[in-house]
Amino acid sequence: MKKLVILLVIGLMFTFTFTGLAFSKNYTLGLCLSTLNNPFFVTLKDGAQKAAEELGITLIVYDAQDDPAKQASEIEDLIQKKVDAILINPTDANAVVPSVLKANKAGIPVFTIDRSAAKGDVVCHIASDNVAGGKMAGEYLAKLLDYKGNVVELVGIPGTSAARDRGKGFNEAMKKYKDIKIVARQTADFNRAKGMQVFENILQAQPDVQGVFAHNDEMVLGAIAAAEAAGKKDIIFVGFDAIDDAVKAVKEGKLAATVAQQPAEMGKLGVENAVKFLKGEELPKFIPVPLKLVTKENVK
């Protein structure tokens, strides 16, 4: 009888141990970033990695270096690895579609972060409302210009949802003011060096510029450097992202404002919601991450 009781106890212990292992599955997620040559996406990665560590899951991170072909190869690698879910920050909304469709066919859930995919089955998109952010930037710039003057728009990477949506919001704000004229709208690929070079060229062709909106802070910081080199001290600049260098520029009075996103929160929410979905929870198609305008009055 005693032997039978011992055997039953051992059997129950084995059952509970096995069941516990089954419920504490170590999920593996892939995080495909457009680039890690931008502090914004480094912070996003850090937020995702911290959440993964806290949840005890594995996170594989890739850096596409703004190359759609490289990102496609990285997503293919994650599909071959049979990861549990893939989080994508697309280099290009259209170029990423075949990769999303491949993941769909493989039965791997796809989430997009900060930038969306043009097509394909995406469980959830986690991002700031970039249209609202662009509009916020435009309204503030218009107010500082007293609703008149010549404005330049520095555009991010063509094909990205961030560039499209920020530009849409900004131009919706601008078109309300008949005395504001957009005299140049040029691409600088979210890059500081290109922002400087492009704005140098614009100033040569359009020396009478009063305001600049750039789709991210890297480009606007490059434009500020170009203006300083050209001796242009009265141009009003507005950026987007609130990276550390931009916040410093706001404090110094070089940058009038930057629209603050929360990249660490985006990364965190991406990982957390992927795990929730894998555990059977239903998610909304869009999870917004709040924005705010950082100015000299409220900068910390």
pLDDT (tens digit per residue) in 182-201: 999 999 999 999 999 999 99
**CA–CA separation, 47 and 262 (whole Å):** 10
Residues of the chain with pLDDT > 70: what percent? 92
pLDDT > 60? residue 6: no
Instruction: Name which CATH class applies to 130-260.
Output: alpha beta
Domain ranges in the chain are 26-127+263-289, 130-260
Eight-class DSSP state of 113: E
pLDDT (tens digit per residue) in 223-238: 999 999 999 999 999 9
pLDDT (tens digit per residue) in 53-76: 999 999 999 999 999 999 999 999
Stronger pLDDT, 10 or 297, i.e. the higher one: 297
**Mean pLDDT, the chain, as a whole number?**
93
| pLDDT given at position 7 | 39
CA distances in angstroms from 281 to 104, 224, 245, 273, listed in the order given? 19, 46, 39, 9
CATH 3.65.10.10 fits 26-127+263-289, yes or no: no
| pLDDT given at position 45 | 99
**CA–CA separation, 111 and 126 (whole Å):** 8
If one counts every other C-beta atom within 10 angstroms of the C-beta of residue 69, the result is 10
Going by pLDDT thresholds of 50, 70 and 90, the confidence category of residue 14 is very low
Going by pLDDT thresholds of 50, 70 and 90, the confidence category of residue 101 is very high
CA-derived radius of gyration, the chain: 23
**CA–CA separation, 253 and 190 (whole Å):** 22
**Domain pair 26-127+263-289 / 130-260, same fold:** yes
The burial of 62, by beta-carbon neighbours within 10 Å (0-12 exposed, 13-18 middle, 19 or more buried), is given as buried
What SS3 state is found at 257?
Answer: strand
pLDDT (tens digit per residue) in 31-52: 999 999 999 999 999 999 999 9
Going by pLDDT thresholds of 50, 70 and 90, the confidence category of residue 25 is confident
Region 205-224: what's the mean pLDDT? 98
| pLDDT given at position 300 | 86
**CA–CA separation, 199 and 71 (whole Å):** 29
